[in-house]
Structure 1
Amino acid sequence: MMSDKTANSLKVKAEGRTLVMERLFDAPRDRVFKAFSEAGQLESWWGPKGWQTEVRSFAFKPNGVWHYCMRCTDENQGEYFGQESWGKAVYQDISAPEKIVFIDMFADAEGNAVSGMPETLVKVEFIEGEHRTKLVMRSEFASEEALQQVIDMGIIQGVSSQFERLDNHLKQAY
């Protein structure tokens, strides 16, 4: 079994068509929530290592849209270098600083959903601890097959890398 380099490793489990990922952050809940609710902060950590996120539009409110592009800027990532991955979130429910609910989808540069790619209902909970925050992200897919599709695409590795970036951002941000 491999040892984990980070003290706050990602815990992952699949429950039917839902993927549950949990991680502790050594930062107060308000600060972790703001990292998800402010465009400038999202640009500095969203996406896996070696990718830079650009926010095209951002309206953090129910029925608001966050449209973004992730670009691979790491030449060491081979065929991925220079690639773009567009995404769109449509916020459903926001209860600061406890939870954010949104529909997540692959999109094109104009913000249209990409057909054939799964849409996901994502519920992010921010659970306050003593100087720490437990983040629980539940991603609900239309089917177990759709969940398996994104697991095969590397969602777990991507989120783990992204949360490492968030952890570093939280240490630097304030």
Structure 2
Amino acid sequence: MSKNAMMSKVENDRVLVLERVFDAPRSQVYKMFKEPDYLKQWWGPRGWELPICNMEFKPGGFYHYCMKCMDQNQDEFYGMESWGKAFYKEIVEPEKIVYVDYFSDEDGNTNDIMPATRVTADFVEMDGKTKLVNRCEYASAEELKTILDMGAIQGITETWDRLEELLKKQK
């Protein structure tokens, strides 16, 4: 396992904790989460793009996005769109972002049938590097299982790999 591999664990049957160290200063990693032009370059698993990315990055603001599969090799996923809408609850720059992320439609109507995720993203300074700790809380163990069964670990691993690649390009 590389030193920058993502670590994951489940706490209390309903909290998914994800951690990864990025070889970039905290302010730079944080900026990747707050600016739509950067998010469009790395958000989503490999083969997926972010053609829609509307954001009001402030407490009480939102992030409405569409991920679209552009990789023909992903067979039945090719051309698929996955919409989401998040609502920012707390922002402490450059330390923390707290938001609730929902599945949504293209108009931003949230899908109450699918699990919502309360995400607390902590950006920890580590001698010029950044440890990102995401705590993803669900209403129940069943909701967390639904998300894990959808391939969340692989998707987030690929997403954070893309983030790391973008950070390296910026050096």
Q: Secondary structure at the match of 1:76?
A: helix
Structure 1 residue matching 2:109: 3-state secondary structure: coil
What stretches of structure 2 of length at least 5 have no aligned partner? none
Aligned partners of 2:52, 2:126: CA distance in 1, in Å? 30
Q: TM-score, normalised by structure 2?
A: 0.97
| AA at the equivalent of 1:115 | D
Give the number of equivalent residue pairs. 170
Query: Partners of 2:80 and 2:159 in 1: how far apart?
Result: 17
Query: Which amino acid counterpart does residue 5 of structure 2 have in structure 1?
Result: S
Asked if structure 2 preserves the Cα contact closer than 8 Å seen for 1:55 and 1:66, the reply is no
Q: After superposition, where does 1:118-129 map in structure 2 within 5 Å? A: 118-129=115-126
Gaps of 5+ in 1: none
Could you say what the CA RMSD is over the residues aligned between the two structures, in angstroms? 1.0
SS of equivalent to 2:139:
coil
Partner SS state of residue 100, structure 1:
strand
Residue 169 of structure 2 corresponds to which residue in structure 1? 172
Which of 45, 49, 54 is the equivalent residue of 1:52?
Answer: 49
Instruction: Kindly report structure 1 stretches of 4+ aligned residues shifted beyond 2 Å.
Output: none
Deviation at residue 91 of structure 1 after TM alignment: 0.3
Which SS does the other structure have where 2:32 is aligned?
helix
| 1:99 matched to 2:96 | yes
Q: What is the match of residue 140 of structure 2? A: 143
- TM-score, normalising length: structure 1: 0.95
Residues in 1 aligned to 2:27 and 2:5: alpha-carbon distance in whole angstroms: 21
* Alignment counterpart, residue 18 of structure 1, candidates 1, 11, 15: 15
